[in-house]
Amino acid sequence: MPPRLACHRQAVPLVPKWLLAALSLLWLAGCAGPDLATRDDGNLSMERTMILAEARQTLGTPYRFGGDTPRGLDCSGLVQLAYARAGIKVPRTSRRQFENLPPIDKARPGDLLFFDTAGGGDASHVGIYLGHGQMIHAPGQGRRVTTSAVDLDYWRERYLGAAAPAP
């Protein structure tokens, strides 16, 4: 006859429901990033007007990693090209742009929006806020410069912050 295995129950301490709820809220709050807030007033500087005009001219341009010419653009190359039109120098990569440009709480047309699309916690994507809930950006391999709504869950979940290099 095979030996009998004893089944012992160990007491598992019960956690009060209120504590579980509180811990869940804290965890969710820790995962929440900054709010993607915008303001669309009609008073744009000449520099912002030039940035937006240049950015719009790149619509349909093929994505090219490291590209910074009208023949092919990546997201930070698009920013560099559009800002150069207004005589404003910006760093080359989205990460450096995010680290070095003046942060703001609410984006206006012409400001930069930064996102963590690679999941590493760093700015890996940047777009130019156009106003009315839209940004222009170079989305990635096999795609073309386009506009996107910034209130999509995809962008809201990856949003890191905004910067205003233009007056």
Q: Any idea which residues carry the catalytic annotation? A: 75, 125, 137
How big is the CA angle at 65 (ends 62 and 85), to the nearest 5 degrees? 70
Closest C-alpha to 77, from 137, 117, 123, 131: 137
**Token digits of residue 103:** 């942060």
State the helix-helix crossing angle for 75-85 and 46-57, rounded to 10 degrees.
Answer: 130
3-state secondary structure of 8: coil
Do residues 114 and 163 make contact, with C-beta atoms less than 8 angstroms apart? yes
Indicate the helix (H) or strand (E) that contains 131. Answer: strand 125-131
